[in-house]
Amino acid sequence: MTAAVETGSRLLQARVRLACDIERASAVLSSRVVEAFLNVPRHSFVPVFYRSDHTTRLTSGDGEAWLREVYANRALVTEVDGLSTAATSSSTLPSLMADMLDALDVRPGDRVLEIGTGTGYNAALLCHLAGAENVTTLDCTAPLVTAARDRLHNAGFEPVVLTADGAAGHPGGAPFDRIIATCSVRRIPQAWLDQCAPGGVIVAPIGGALDGGAVACLTKQPDGRAVGRFLAAPAAFMPLRSGAAAASDAPESVEAAQRTTPVRSNALNDYGFSFWASLHLPPNVVRQAGRLHDSADGSTALVRDHSDGSSTVTVAGPRDLWEVVETAHREWLRRNRPRREWLTIEVGVEGQIVRYAAPDGSVSRWVL
C-alpha cells in the first residue's frame, strides 16, 4: 500500500468515526446531515488549534495526535487573543453542528446565509447540503475570511465568502431560504428577519451573561414574524462581533454590602438552569471570574462559597443582581426544572418574546 493510499484510508476512517460519534451524541439526524460529515473533511479546515489552556498549539505537523483530536467530537479553539489568550474563534462541537444543521433542514437549491464563517468547515457542510452556488458566508474578521475562502477553494467548494458585519446580514443576496449563525446573539437582528424568505428557517444561538445558552430554530411567517422553539442541547458560542460597543469589564473593587445566600456560586454552572437564569437577568450583564456585572448601571454581585456549606454574596450598585438569580432559581425548582426545549420564541417588529407554558396552564414570559 502506498503512503498516499494509507493516508487516504486513515482520513476516511477518521471521518467515519466522527460521523458515528455524532450519531451517538445527537438526536435522530437526517441521513443527509450524516452524509455531509462523512464527505466533508474537517482536517482541511483546522490545520492549527489550541488545547484547553489556549497556549499549547497542535498543527498538522503533529501527525496522529493532531488528527485524533481534529476528528474527535469536541470543540477546537482555532484563534486566541495574543495578550489575554482568550478564545476569539473556534470550530464548533461537531454533534452540535449536526443538530443545528438538522434543524436548519437544508435542501438542495436552498439559498443559505451563514453568519460567522470561522474556519469555513460549517460553510463546507452547507455547500454539500445546498450546493456551493447557493451558499453565502460572512465574518467580520478579514484574516479569518481570507483563510476560510482558501480552505473552501482547496476542498472544492466555491461559495460567496464575504467580510461584513454579521448583524447586517447580506441584503444584496436576500431573500434567503435558510439563515444560520455560528455566534450567539441576545436578540435576533432585524436584518436577519427581513432577509429570510416567508417559510424560511433561522437557526441562531441565543446567549447572554451565562454559559449554556440555547439555539433557537424559527420559521418565518407570512405576516413577517418568526416563531419557533429551542434545541435541547446547551450552546456556548462566542458572541457576535459587530459595530455595537462592547460591555465594560467588572470593576476590581467597589463599596459593597454582604449577605448570606441559599444559592451557591456553582448554580450558574448548571446548563439546565443557566439559560433560565439568563432570561431573568438584564441584557448588559456579563459574568467574569465568578462575578456578575451590569455595565448599564454598575451593579455587581460576587458569590463566595465557604467550607461549612454556607455562601455569601457581596452586592453593589442600584440593583441586587444575585437576588434576581435567587428568584429565578426558586421559580425553576418550583416549576420542576423546565428544559430549554420546552420554551418557545417569537420574533417580530413588536419585540422578541420567550415563553414557557407550564402544565398547570400558567405562562412565564420574558422580553429579550
Catalytic residues: 90
Spacing of C-alpha 35 from chain mean position? 23
Q: Cis bond leading into 47, ω under 30°?
A: no
d(CA 127, CA 157): 7
- One-letter amino acid at 202 equals I
- Strand runs (DSSP E) across 26-163, as ranges? 48-50, 57-59, 76-80, 87-91, 112-115, 135-139, 160-163
- Contact criterion met (CB below 8 Å) for 52 and 84: no
- Contact criterion met (CB below 8 Å) for 129 and 146: no
Whole-angstrom CA distances from 153 to 40, 149, 242, 345 are 13, 6, 26, 37
Spacing of C-alpha 147 from chain mean position? 21
d(CA 227, CA 205): 15
Count CB atoms within 10 A of the CB of residue 57.
Answer: 13
C-alpha cell at 57: 498549539
Longest dimension (CA), the chain: 72
- One-letter amino acid at 150 equals D
Angle at 363 between CA 362 and CA 366, to 5 degrees: 155
